[in-house]
């Protein structure tokens, strides 16, 4: 049985009458990357801010190692490092000054500090700009400075909030590899993201959170296996489907569930899609609803999210 290094117990944060985080219970194990997946406003960042003791919980608590975040705030922070969603940088500061100070306050000895700061700046392609003030930086460059903080600190528990937002695809892969290395060196990583692919490729386990509540938490593969029916057919129609046709389609053999993304855009969850695909296309031809595109997919974390909420992650975000 793996050892939990973070134990979240009934953690709750209320802003007025709104539950930003609603009685959250979750164990995070030593040495894993746990992806906290949910749309914007799901309560991910609020959870992270409570774990880093930046804000106080309204109710419940969490243990960072042996330390209770409500009573042992100072000790909790000795185990934690956080890279924020929005880079927290004073615009008159330079990357070198920001990272050097961060390393210093985290207690790194001088030689090691200089070495790690140089390494992180070089790896993240910021070395040449290390003495420029961050106000001339692009969003992606600022984000890289923010991420560099935890790469230098190498904390026991690294908390990263949307680590690759605003970063190009090459940069994303580089940061993902650096986070994996950090995990391999002994850090536990709590990754908050609304990017399904990021959660899927990077996380050992994924916790799906919506409206402040934990819906499910498991390995990405196991989560996908929980989708009724093993396959997904995604159909985009040239016309909207009627309720009668939708009901009829639902009754088709081996169709387990249908998610209506739009009246002309359906996700059909079913068993043995290869065999039933001709039947599905025939159904639309008979109903005289022309198909624009049709494709067969493996279930994704988006499907897992949709299974538990009835919404795609984009819909949940807009609602």
Name the site residues for other proteins (rule: CB under 8 A).
Answer: 49, 52-56, 73-74, 77-78, 80, 82, 84, 86, 88-93, 97, 101-102, 104-107, 133
77 vs 254, beta carbon nearer other proteins: 77
CB of 12 to other proteins, least distance (A): 14
Q: How many CA atoms lie within 13 A of 33 on its CB side?
A: 25
Orientation angle between helical segments 95-105 and 110-123, nearest 10 degrees: 140
Closest to other proteins by CB, 161 or 195: 161
Q: Which is closer to other proteins, CB of 117 or CB of 268? A: 117
**Around Cβ 109, how many Cβ atoms within 10 Å?**
10
Could you tell me the smallest distance in angstroms from the CB atom of residue 90 to other proteins? 6
**In the complex with other proteins, which residue's Cβ is closer, 52 or 164?**
52
Q: Report, in Å, the least distance between residue 48 CB and other proteins.
A: 9
> Least distance (Å) from other proteins to the CB of residue 101?
5
CB of 277 to other proteins, least distance (A): 50
Query: Cβ closer to other proteins: 153 or 312?
Result: 153
């Amino acid at each position: 049985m793996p050892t939990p290094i973070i134990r979240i117990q009934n953690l709750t944060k209320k802003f007025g009458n709104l539950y930003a985080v609603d009685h959250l219970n979750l164990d995070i194990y030593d040495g894993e990357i746990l992806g906290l997946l949910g749309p914007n406003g799901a309560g991910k960042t609020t959870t992270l801010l409570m774990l880093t003791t930046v804000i106080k919980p309204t109710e419940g608590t969490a243990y960072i190692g042996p330390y209770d975040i409500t009573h042992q705030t100072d000790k909790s922070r000795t185990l934690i490092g956080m890279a924020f969603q929005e880079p927290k940088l004073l615009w008159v500061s330079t990357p070198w000054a920001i990272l050097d100070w961060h390393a210093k306050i985290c207690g790194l000895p001088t030689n090691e500090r200089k070495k790690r700061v140089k390494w992180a700046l070089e790896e993240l392609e910021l070395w040449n700009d290390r003495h420029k003030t961050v106000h001339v930086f692009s969003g992606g460059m600022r984000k890289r400075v923010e991420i560099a903080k935890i790469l230098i600190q190498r904390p026991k528990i690294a908390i990263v909030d949307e680590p690759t937002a605003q970063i190009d695809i090459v940069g994303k892969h580089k940061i993902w590899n650096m986070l994996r290395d950090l995990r391999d060196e002994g850090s536990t990583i709590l990754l908050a993201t609304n990017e399904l692919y990021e959660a899927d490729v990077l996380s050992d386990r994924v916790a799906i959170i919506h409206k402040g509540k934990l819906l499910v938490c498991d390995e990405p593969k196991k989560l996908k296996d929980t989708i009724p029916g093993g396959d997904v057919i995604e159909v985009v129609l040239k016309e909207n489907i009627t309720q009668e046709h939708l009901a009829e389609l639902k009754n088709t053999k081996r169709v387990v569930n249908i998610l209506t993304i739009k009246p002309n855009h359906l996700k059909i969850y079913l068993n043995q899609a290869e065999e039933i695909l001709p039947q599905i296309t025939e159904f639309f031809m008979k109903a005289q609803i022309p198909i624009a595109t049709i494709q067969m997919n493996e279930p994704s974390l988006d499907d897992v999210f949709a299974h538990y909420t009835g919404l795609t992650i984009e819909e949940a975000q807009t609602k």
